[in-house]
Chains A and B, each alone.
Chain A
Amino acid sequence: MASCVHRIEVRFSKDPRLKTRTDRIRSLGFPIDELHLVDVYTITTGMRDFSAVELDQIGSQLINPVVQEFSVDLPFLADFDYALEVGFLPGVTDNVGTTARQTIVDFFLGVEGVSVYTSQLFFINGGISPGLVQKLASTLANPLVNRVHSKTRKEYGTSGMGREVPLVRLHELPTAGEVDLILEDRELTRLGKEGIEDPVTHQRRGPLALDLDQLHAIRDYFITKGRNPKDIELESLAQTWSEHCKHTIFASAMDDDLPDGLYKTYIQAATNKIRKDKGEKDICLTVFTDNSGAIIFDDYYLVTHKVETHNSPSALDPFGGALTGIVGVNRDTIGFGLGAKPCINVYGYCVGDPGSDPALFRGRDRTNPILPPRRILDGVVHGVGVGGNCSGIPTSQGWVYFDNRYVGKPLVFAGTVGVMPRELSGRKLYEKQAEPGDLIVVAGGRVGKDGIHGATFSSEALDPGSPVTAVQIGDPVTQKKLSDVIVKEARDLGLYRSITDNGAGGISCSVAEMAKECNGARVSLDKVPLKYPGMAPWEIWISESQERMTLAVPPGKIDTFMELMGRREVEAVVIGEFSDSGRCVVEFHGDVVMDIELAFLHDGLPKKHLKTRLTKKTYPEPAVPCPQRLDATLVAMLQRKNICSKEFISVQYDHTVQGGHVLGPLQGKGRVQAMATLTKVVPGSKKGVGLSQGMFPSYSEIDPYLMAAAGIDTAIRGLIALGIPLDAIAILDNFCWCSSDDPERLGQLKRAAKGCYDIATAFGTPFISGKDSMYNDFSGYDADNNPVKVSVPPTLLISSIGIHEDVLRSVSIDAKIEGDLVYVIGATKEEMGGSEYFAYLGGVGNVVPALDPVIVKERYERLTEAILHELVASSCPVARGGLGVALGMVAIAGRLGMEISIPSGMRPDYFLFSESLGRFVVTISPENRQVFEQILGEDAMLLGTVTGNNLRISGMDLLIDERVSELENAYKAPFKEY
């Protein structure tokens, strides 16, 4: 009924957003003269229409009258050339709309059937052609998420933009269909690749990502049952068996020497060995089995950590993909044990050079272009920020790495640390056990078509057919309500026995996973609350709609549980019960639509035997002589995008909420981004949680084993520099590989995993959690229709977590006092392969840094002793860019000069920019010299003193003499305008 649609337009009398927005649009190449913004609320009513007075009341609740005004059903009239309206596509989460609706329902107690849809109007004056307007529209809107609508001033007239309502209309059969698997292999392969054919539209529903062996196993299973599978059963198996969920590549036998596969041989075995070797000093509580890994914080608390990736969704919708990535990993914390409280977020982004705009397309004939790196960067930075900021979780530590091999598929890492008491009233909170008879409860957001095929989709390379429904937008407020009631109330009241997150595969995976605890489950899908009617059972079962947890609630506690959820306005519904039947049974309006034995669902996956090969690659060594002076080189190195300051990210992420800030992402007067952060997570405790990360994709193609070693060493060294002892550190692995069907890529993977085992066991730092993403490839076309494949470099992110005994004795990176002595700890070798310096010279090289963990381990123990005895004034790990960059950062951070002399024997530029592992730059008070040198022994090389305003570095001759303020400008220049 058109008469029941109203449009409220809100504008600022003096809009504070305009300057930034106008600048931003101009910087993207649209020379507009003037911009005006109007926020639009489109309100639909179902039961009765609102009167003019009521609409006026609604309008005044949506504004602040001091600075804003509104109009009802009256378009904004002004002088402009074009009007662009950007709203959401039907079914896309509209958080502001939801809040506005709640305000209206609150005000008119009991009013029903109200919906609110928000959009934003851009009025543009002058400067651009109609063609550019269309281009601007596509810049402001993402076609997978937004609807955009433009009018010229004339078309706009006096009636404005019109009242468009993005209603979801579905025409699907809400029943489960049968799928015939008695097919030729070619047809089966197509089924696996493109999905089930819809009986009505005859369109394929999107990839199952099942290969022929797997489809044969499924066909054979159903032959023994004497029936064909239903579509929901096939979809469910596809989810559970996906690479994303079962990690088949890490689990499969490999070559002749790894019958148990990479995970068991190299990752799990490393942790098992370390835990056994450490005996009483073991810090692990839960490893690999739960949604996060957990280590001991103190006698009363534990901390959890988990790092996830959300790569494919972020390629399509950077903001939504990154936002759902971070709030998703928050749920891995809430879903750990009986629910840990998320207390720190971390991030990492691998993207293309934001200054580039590669012409690559997912479709032929220049259709479906990839998003330019700048838009991906802006979107993912914003998405992770909104997730953390809105949830009250500090986002402290993180990094960005640029390489044009990430243009087709960016990598978005998002991690969360949680804290919880180890026990409460005799219950171990880190253990969970659903019992037969417990009710299956889904709490949180409703289910829509969002994110369908997310799990299978992220297991496939991105190509023209990537499904649009994979795009989701998070709703941090719904999740915050859910998180609060679980972690701060229901958990401590003992109202449930098990809980898990709904992530990849939605309830199909969460219920099947929890059903393992008691050996069975029965679900009535028609009880699941939906965003809109008309969804088919398979869609409800595998939808990845966000902000939902699944719980096992004992029948005796269900009333208390539901009453509490009701009071907190968190929707919770009983959708079935756990059993010990050995089966996962799903009903829809009384019909059984799925009945599969758990044994087959979880273990029926055919085993694979993977073959690998590894060919050593060689690269030409750059043949550039060492310059006489290195001032300009150091300035250029500090300006490298992989080295320079990305402070704009740190400041838009609230890193102080929860009151635990100790050493944040920025340190010293010069505000240098540190590699590691330290945060208090239990008020009143002296202890703190240190976090760092390490990743060296530029070493991967040269030597994947040493690439892994560098990642582990760097992640650990970040924490050693804070004063955290090696035996209080645990690590996490995230493998983001490419083309994992290629034996060469698997050969690199095998070497990297072997490196993980060797280095982790040598250091005694256990893996507590890990995740892999194996197909980070883009397949598409260039502007001339030539097929193009862009694969990410094999990327291994190692994240570290460690417990600092006494944060007051921790050390920051900045030089502090004039006259202090400057040391480099650890030997520098000519290891230039894959270094940032060689990249600067336009080369790659062949000698990547090696690591002798036995020597380095002893060094770390000595440095820890010196730091904990408070002999050290500053300590900074030497990482990307080498010693020269580290000295620069220590000086910039302290806004103090240094007088440094480096030894002869090596090319000075190589000495300054080699990335040899295991090193630190440390400054100390001169009075501590003797005892410091006694502790560190030969590992400590005195380089000079903190003095003056310049960084002066000499070898045989003066090499560098540059004002620290100039270095600071260089370090901060590249992203100054972001």
Chain B
Amino acid sequence: MNAAHSPLTTSPGKDNSSQPDLIAEKALIMSGFGINSEMETQEVLLRAGMASDIVHINDLIDGRTKLGQYRLLVFPGGFSYGDDTGAGNAFANRVRNNLWKDVEDFIDGDNLVLGICNGFQIIANLGLVPAFDHHFSRDIALMPNRKGVLECRFVTLKPAAENLWTKGIERIYCPAAHGEGNFSCSPDTLRRLKEQEMIALTYCREDLSPANGEYPYNPNGSVEDIAGITSADGKVLGLMPHPERAMDFVNLYDWPLRKEQLKRNGMATPDESLNMQMFRNIVDYFR
């Protein structure tokens, strides 16, 4: 019995059935215990050209599935363990208490790890980011939002460093939806993050000027508007907002206005959003 779910995109119900050529390398998308964004994450990777398996963490613990068969490990969004004992903490404990050796081996290989939202909270608790000097300690925290409640809204992000993930990207415009995304760390950690150019994405205004902590552009109170960071070696990315939820043009909050503006100027409407570039960059890394 194969525990990996077949992607919905193989369904005959699809209208745009043209798939890109898939690369040989595959992604493992972690699931279970309240992770919930695995299917849209699988879809976005498939569109970018990478096949994946959604694997329940227990199937990794049991050894039914081996992490070593994969090149990209994704911790998708969700509410693992209902955010109890701190968002991402309980799932991170489960990984650390059961799978740590496999994860360490994976990190040591030429592989990539992506954590989105709850996934970022998990990899932060595991110490996969920032992982200064290849040392996996908890150096950052994603605390409860400044407003104290979950906040779901579209945010604008801009890359703040050069890395494989954000190559060629000017902006990302996508939903943020979390209760604990308030990035916090010691002054020393912040200094190192800056020095080593590990701040991958920051919240900004629509014109790409810095949010400077101002709500709602910076939705949660994160220090220095930090929305995402990479590991010191650049091969792990964690970010709070959800580019995978805005793959289509019609997923964007302001698409009806944009469509009307394009139409009046005699221009066609695109099918997909610019956010897809982040996932194409992942695929390009393996090409």
Q: Which A residues are within 8 Å of any B CB, using their own CB?
A: 12, 16-17, 19-21, 61-68, 95-96, 98-100, 102-103, 106-107, 297-301, 385, 389-392, 421, 475-477, 480-481, 484, 488-489, 493, 560, 564, 567-569, 650-664, 667-669, 680, 682-686, 807-808, 810-812, 814, 816-817, 870, 873-874, 925
Contact = CB atoms under 8 A, between A and B. Distances in A.
Given A21-B148, A481-B33, A686-B15, A817 B264 contact: yes
Nearest to B6: A492
B236 interface: no
B166 interface: no
Given A297-B13, A661-B175, 10 more contacts: A99-B81, A392-B78, A488-B5, A659-B37, A659-B43, A661-B253, A683-B9, A684-B13, A808-B269, A874-B256
B103 interface: no
Interface of B: 1, 3, 5, 8-9, 11-17, 31-34, 36-37, 39-40, 43-44, 56, 58-59, 62, 77-79, 81-86, 89-90, 93-94, 97-98, 125, 138-141, 143-153, 175, 177, 179, 182, 184-186, 221, 242, 244-251, 253-257, 259-261, 263-264, 269
14 contacts: A16-B145, A16-B221, A64-B86, A66-B185, A96-B84, A103-B85, A103-B93, A569-B33, A651-B151, A655-B152, A683-B39, A683-B43, A684-B17, A817-B264
Nearest to B178: A654
A416 to B, nearest CB: 15
A476 B153 contact: no
Contacts of A103: 85, 90, 93-94
B245 A95 contact: no
Contacts of A21: 148
- Would you call the interface of chain B mostly helix, strand, loop, or mixed? mixed
Nearest to B180: A16
Contacts of A560: 1
A390 B257 contact: no
A95 B14 contact: no
Nearest to B19: A684
A64 B82 contact: no
A661 B11 CA distance: 20
B86 A63 contact: yes
Contact of B144 (A16, A65, A870): A16
Nearest to A67: B141
Of listed B15, B184, B250, residue having the most chain A CB within 10 A: B250
A659 B247 contact: yes
B36 A391 contact: yes
B32 to A, nearest CB: 7
A476 B82 contact: yes
B150 A389 contact: yes
Contacts, number: 240
Contacts of A19: 146, 148
B152 A656 contact: yes
Contact of A477 (B33, B141, B152, B248): B33
The 8 closest A-B pairs by CB, nearest first: A392-B36, A659-B40, A20-B148, A99-B84, A300-B13, A656-B175, A684-B14, A812-B256
Contact of B152 (A96, A653, A682, A683): A653
Contact of B251 (A63, A102, A301, A662): A662
B81 to A, nearest CB: 4
Contacts of A390: 34, 79, 82-83
Nearest to A668: B257
Given A106-B93, A568-B56, A808-B269, A66 B140 contact: yes
Contact of A484 (B14, B32, B77): B32
Contacts of B263: 870
B11 A300 contact: yes
Given A390-B82, A392-B78, A654 B150 contact: yes
A36 B140 CA distance: 23
A66 B184 contact: yes
Contacts of A652: 149-152
Nearest to B31: A484
A567 B56 contact: yes
B185 A107 contact: no
B264 A925 contact: yes
Contact of A480 (B36, B245, B261): B36
A83 to B, nearest CB: 21
Contact of A16 (B139, B146, B247): B146
Contacts of A663: 256
A316 B260 CA distance: 49
Contact of A685 (B3, B13, B33, B79): B13
Contact of A654 (B31, B152, B182, B184): B152
Of listed A102, A569, A654, residue having the most chain B CB within 10 A: A654
Contacts of B40: 657-659, 683
A674 to B, nearest CB: 11
Nearest to A99: B84
A392 B90 contact: no
Contacts of B33: 477, 480-481, 569
B245 A656 contact: yes
A836 B82 CA distance: 40
Contacts of B253: 661, 664
